[in-house]
Structure 1
């Protein structure tokens, strides 16, 4: 089919970008939670690596979109993993282990930074499947689907930056973010069960997004007005290429010097 640009194609691209942005209300919060264990400069770097992987996966997955219909098991694995994260988070808080982050553990012998990049990439794959299938249903032109999807990824990354700034200003909002992560996990598991026809209902996107917005509003009110952030000293400077800052150097005692 020869390459052609029509007015309807531009409208479709705009709709795909808006669709990706609308679906990013929960996606952005989940990805923001995933990079929380990293220093701030590494958070941005991990998301930059993640967006490159998301672009590559989006292109390949769009080319083979017909096979994504048979990947419902990906939703099950993603949903169970997202349910595990808040369970680990709140169980550690309840047992007095709130100082350790549930995502601070490394995988496959990788550093914390690369472990986080792997988590971001895997989560991107889970979230991208629905968007790609919807895009394929809206247009048959490959360049329209790719353009709308890739611009949508950029919009989602901008939204993640805003989420990270809010979490940095009000740390208590992290608890609310984990509640939203749990809801997203439940939604993915329900979608998997619906695909297998185990259950006969499916949660509409409008209701799902509404629940996310309500949970986010409640957690923001809790963090800002109920559990106000205390005035703490600024954290020590951290090398963005190191996972854990080294111990401070001990000052020499004058009495130990021989005169």
Structure 2
């Protein structure tokens, strides 16, 4: 029995880390662009404090979501919403990400003073506090899909959820450019992530649908 539970926790942990890293692509780009807006000597501090504050908020929201998913019907609703997120990801992957900007491109635009209007606006000179705030707000606002996916994957393992989020965000902070470049250059990794998230969404719909049907029979 213990081995089954351990395997369940390890599987959930692997899904949480994989989902969070795949979905970290856009967030890594935001981190890179925000860091590009401050002097070189402050960039590591901006990334550290920005991601540190963001992970605390993300864990908080994920734990709340885990509790909310215990309410009959919300797992089903969350699965449907996550499936919609999968559809958006599918459309983005199919388009080939032609309009994506990598962190290095943002840094290059800062150094050369060139780049399009969107990049130029993102890398304009700013203060340390503003750059940290930019990372926090952008990360939290872009993390609805992440929170739903990891909460659904973690199921009844809140410790797994917290550890998975911590590990994956630490990795994102340590290698924001690397993650963004990998996902930017090797689009097929995004398809693997989409498959994992779609599986989680369908699993949530299956479990949520059974919960609703069971509850309906009891009434």
TM-score range, shorter chain: 0.5 to 0.7
Name the counterpart of 1:158: 166
Name the counterpart of 1:115: 138
CA distance in 1, matches of 2:153, 2:198: 14
CA distance in 2, matches of 1:55, 1:131: 10
Q: Normalising by structure 1, what TM-score?
A: 0.48
Equivalent residue of 1:172, what SS?
helix
Tell me which protein shows more helix as a share of its residues. 2
User: Is residue 44 from structure 1 mapped to residue 36 from structure 2 by the alignment?
Assistant: no
Name the counterpart of 2:20: 28
RMSD of equivalent CA atoms:
4.0
Q: Normalising by structure 2, what TM-score?
A: 0.55
Name the counterpart of 1:3: none
Name the counterpart of 1:19: 11
Q: 44-53 or 168-177, which moves further after superposition?
A: 168-177
CA distance in 2, matches of 1:125, 1:175: 23
Describe the superposition over 1:199-233 as per-residue Cα deviations: whole angstroms up to 9, x where unpaired.
xxxxxxxxxxxxxxxxxxxxxxxxxxxxxxxxxxx
Q: Report which of the two structures shows the higher radius of gyration computed on alpha carbons.
A: 1
Name the counterpart of 2:151: 128
Q: Which runs of 5+ in 2 are unaligned?
A: 36-46, 107-117, 123-132, 206-219
Residue 54 of structure 1: CA displacement? 0.6
Q: Which runs of 5+ in 1 are unaligned?
A: 1-7, 105-109, 133-144, 197-259
| Larger RCO: 1 or 2 (CA < 8 Å, sep 6+) | 2
Aligned partner (choices 91, 94, 97) of residue 90 of structure 1: 97
CA distance in 2, matches of 1:58, 1:153: 9
